[in-house]
Structure 1
Amino acid sequence: MKNTGKTPLVVFGEDWASHPSSTQHLIRKLMHEHPVIWVNSIGLRRPRISWRDINRLFTKLFQILRGKGKAADATDRTTDKPLEIIHPIALPLPGNRLASWFNARSLSRQVKQTLAKHGLANPVLWLSLPTAVDVVGRCGESATLYYAGDDFSALAGVDHDAVIPMEQSLAAKAQAIVAPSPVIADRFPRDNTFIIPHGCDHSLFSTPQPKAKELKDGKPIAGFYGSLDEWLDQDLLIWLARSLPDWKFQFIGPIKTDLGALLSLGNVEFLGVREHHQLPSYVQHWSASLIPFRDTRQIRACNPLKLREYLAAGTPIVSTAFPAVQKYSDHVAICNDRENFRTALQDCLIDEPVDRSARQNRVRSESWEARAHDMQVLIEALHFASLTQNAAMESSTPDKNCSFSNG
Structure 2
Amino acid sequence: MTRLLFLSHSHPFGPFRVGSHHYARVLAGRGADVVHLSTPISLAHRVTGRVSRADLAVVPSRPRRDADGVLNIVPRTALPVPVGAPTVARMLKRAGIDTRFDAVLIDQPLLWDSSVRSLSDAVIYRPTDLYPSGVKHRLQQQILDAVDGVIATSDEVLRGLGPLRVPTLVLSNGADVARFAAPAGADAARAARCVYVGALDDRFDWARVDGWARAFGDVEFVIAGPGRSPQPLPANVSLVGAVPYADVPALLHTARVGLLPLSDNPLNAGRSPMKLYEYFAAGLAVVARETPGIRGRSDLGIEVYTGDEDADAALERALRHPSPNVAGERAAADASWERKTDALEEFLRAVRDRSA
- TM-score with structure 1 setting the length: 0.75
AA aligned opposite 2:7: F
Match of 2:91 in 1: 110
Counterpart among 128, 136, 144 of residue 171 in structure 1? 144
Counterpart of 1:245 in 2: which secondary structure? coil
Match of 1:286 in 2: 255
CA contact (8 A) 1:248 1:268 kept: yes
Note if 1:80 corresponds to 2:74: no
CA contact (8 A) 1:250 1:269 kept: yes
Question: Structure 2 vs 1, CA of residues 22 and 241 (structure 1 numbering), >3 Å: closer, same or farther?
Answer: same
Counterpart of 1:15 in 2: which secondary structure? coil
Note if 1:201 corresponds to 2:176: yes
CA contact (8 A) 1:103 1:134 kept: no
Question: Structure 2 vs 1, CA of residues 358 and 115 (structure 1 numbering), >3 Å: closer, same or farther?
Answer: same
CA contact (8 A) 2:151 2:170 kept: yes
CA contact (8 A) 1:90 1:103 kept: no
Match of 2:28 in 1: 31
Counterpart of 1:279 in 2: which secondary structure? helix
CA contact (8 A) 1:35 1:82 kept: yes
CA contact (8 A) 2:296 2:303 kept: no
Question: Structure 2 vs 1, CA of residues 330 and 324 (structure 1 numbering), >3 Å: closer, same or farther?
Answer: farther
Question: Structure 2 vs 1, CA of residues 350 and 53 (structure 1 numbering), >3 Å: closer, same or farther?
Answer: closer
Cα distance in 1 between the residues matched to 2:50 and 2:221: 28
Match of 2:242 in 1: 273
State the identity as a percent: 20
CA contact (8 A) 1:16 1:38 kept: no
Cα distance in 2 between the residues matched to 1:328 and 1:112: 49
- Tell me the CA shift for residue 282 of structure 1: 2.2
CA contact (8 A) 1:316 1:348 kept: yes
Counterpart among 330, 333, 343 of residue 303 in structure 2? 333
Cα distance in 1 between the residues matched to 2:288 and 2:282: 16
Question: Structure 2 vs 1, CA of residues 219 and 31 (structure 1 numbering), >3 Å: closer, same or farther?
Answer: closer
CA contact (8 A) 1:233 1:293 kept: yes
CA contact (8 A) 1:209 1:284 kept: no
CA contact (8 A) 2:35 2:71 kept: yes
Cα distance in 1 between the residues matched to 2:351 and 2:96: 19
Cα distance in 1 between the residues matched to 2:266 and 2:246: 30
Question: Structure 2 vs 1, CA of residues 279 and 89 (structure 1 numbering), >3 Å: closer, same or farther?
Answer: same
- Tell me the CA shift for residue 168 of structure 1: 0.7
Cα distance in 1 between the residues matched to 2:338 and 2:124: 19
Q: What are the ranges of 5 or more consecutive residues in structure 2 without an aligned counterpart?
A: none
Match of 1:52 in 2: 50
Question: Structure 2 vs 1, CA of residues 89 and 57 (structure 1 numbering), >3 Å: closer, same or farther?
Answer: farther
Question: Structure 2 vs 1, CA of residues 363 and 253 (structure 1 numbering), >3 Å: closer, same or farther?
Answer: same
CA contact (8 A) 1:42 1:131 kept: no
Question: Structure 2 vs 1, CA of residues 162 and 285 (structure 1 numbering), >3 Å: closer, same or farther?
Answer: same
CA contact (8 A) 2:37 2:74 kept: yes
Cα distance in 2 between the residues matched to 1:91 and 1:51: 14
Question: Structure 2 vs 1, CA of residues 113 and 140 (structure 1 numbering), >3 Å: closer, same or farther?
Answer: farther
Deviates most, 190-199 or 267-276: 190-199
CA contact (8 A) 1:285 1:315 kept: no
CA contact (8 A) 2:303 2:314 kept: yes
RMSD: 3.1
Question: Structure 2 vs 1, CA of residues 349 and 181 (structure 1 numbering), >3 Å: closer, same or farther?
Answer: closer
Note if 1:185 corresponds to 2:158: yes
- Tell me the CA shift for residue 28 of structure 1: 0.8
Counterpart among 82, 85, 108 of residue 129 in structure 1? 108
CA contact (8 A) 1:42 1:91 kept: no
AA aligned opposite 1:141: S
Cα distance in 2 between the residues matched to 1:36 and 1:48: 28
Match of 1:156 in 2: none
Deviates most, 377-386 or 303-312: 377-386
Match of 2:197 in 1: 225
AA aligned opposite 1:198: N
Match of 2:17 in 1: 20
Deviations 1:106-134 (A, max 9, x none): x31332465766xx744322211111211
- Tell me the CA shift for residue 378 of structure 1: 2.1
Deviations 1:270-316 (A, max 9, x none): 11222223222222331322111122211111110011111222222
Question: Structure 2 vs 1, CA of residues 209 and 305 (structure 1 numbering), >3 Å: closer, same or farther?
Answer: farther
Q: Which structure: larger Rg? A: 1
- TM-score with structure 2 setting the length: 0.85
CA contact (8 A) 1:240 1:338 kept: no
Cα distance in 2 between the residues matched to 1:348 and 1:339: 16
Cα distance in 1 between the residues matched to 2:47 and 2:267: 26
Cα distance in 2 between the residues matched to 1:103 and 1:133: 11
Match of 2:264 in 1: 295
Cα distance in 2 between the residues matched to 1:115 and 1:324: 41
Counterpart of 1:197 in 2: which secondary structure? coil
Match of 2:123 in 1: 144
Match of 1:357 in 2: 326
The number of residue pairs the alignment matches comes to: 346
